[in-house]
Chains A and B, each alone.
Chain A
Amino acid sequence: MAIDYLPLLIVLIVAALFAAIALVVPALLGPHRANKQKLEPYESGIIPFSDARRRFPVKFYLVAMLFILFDIEVIFLYPWAGVLRDLRDNYSIWLALAPMGFFLFVLIVGLLYEWKKGALDWK
């Protein structure tokens, strides 16, 4: 029950504390001598040349779509993994494996399809 989630809560608290410390301690202890160059966003030493909030190419969206589809697949795998043993004991091992076998087969066909059609190529 809920007590099983205690480690998760501890991790969350530790992460939040770590982030807070990493922000607060330098702010208190470090020197503050700002100038224009220092306050600019930096990435690998390249001088910024345009606004970061510009439009992205639509092919990113395709990647997001494919991610969502396989993400939804995972949510079906999760309860199945939990009841695999029970299904085997109550029915038979084939009845436990076959449904997910077909499920995965269909999605692997999908994966092969997008692979062959070049959706995974970045051109």
Chain B
Amino acid sequence: MSASLVFFIVVAAVSLTSALGVVTSRWPIHSALFMLVNFITLAVFYVTLGAQFLAAAQVIIYAGGIVILILFVVMLIGSEKIGGPSGHRLWTPYAGVALGVLMLATMIYTFASSLFGAPGTADAIEAGHPKAVGMTLFTQYILPIEMAAVLLLVALIGALLLARQPKAGAQ
């Protein structure tokens, strides 16, 4: 057994355990923290697959940002223990399981052909490097980037307008 396979098995085990933890935990805060672990293991997978920019984005945006936001929301709406299955509609767990199985089947169907095929080409592996991504972003996709800046500004204005208590007296 090669070292990389052992490494993969360990990370995959952590990843699956944390994913199970997200859905089975009764405390919302614990779910969020399990999700953080899961996001970080995903980043590790991205690195091993050569998608280094994606790994960085995963850590900075998802692990660093989204989980924080989820934690804040949990604290805002109160983090009481979640009730048992009586808390939600009867069919929702089954619908969730069915959709999950459907998604898994689609993924297996899609990837089955490439599972035993040739490994990725050097070009494909290089394309995930931050430099390659940066070169594409800052030449071909320069307009979307600048638009993203203005969109972030709009989101900022919107967040302030809608969430802030209006100051007494002024505006």
Q: Which of A's residues lie within 8 Å of B, judged by CB?
A: 1-2, 5, 53-56, 58-62, 64-69, 71-76, 78-80, 82-83, 86-87, 96, 99, 102-103, 106-107, 109-110, 113-114, 117-119
Total interface residues on B, using CB and 8 Å? 47
Give the CA-CA distance A104 to B73 in the complex, in Å. 29
- Which chain B residues lie closer than 8 Å to A60 at the CB level? 72, 75-76
Does the CB pair B152–A107 fall under 8 Å? yes
Residues of B within 8 A of A (CB): 29, 47-48, 50, 53, 56-57, 60-61, 64-66, 68-69, 72-73, 75-80, 130-131, 133-135, 137-139, 142, 145-146, 148-150, 152-153, 155-157, 159-160, 163-165, 167
Contact flag A107-B78 (CB < 8 Å), given A71-B60, A118-B167: no
In the bound complex, residues from chain B placing their C-beta under 8 Å from that of A109 are 153
Minimal Cβ-Cβ distance residue in B for A121 = B167
What are 15 A-B residue pairs whose CB atoms fall within 8 Å in the complex?
Answer: A2-B47, A58-B163, A61-B72, A62-B164, A64-B69, A78-B60, A80-B134, A83-B131, A83-B134, A87-B138, A99-B142, A99-B145, A109-B153, A110-B153, A117-B160
Which of A5, A58, A78 contacts B47 (CB under 8 A)? A5
Assess whether A71 is in contact with B73, with CB atoms less than 8 Å apart. Answer: no
Chain A at the B interface: SS class: helix
Residues of the B chain whose Cβ atoms lie less than 8 Å from the Cβ of A62: 159-160, 163-164
Max chain B C-beta neighbours (<10 A), residue from A67, A71, A75, A103: A75
Contact between chains at B56 and A64 (CB < 8 Å): no
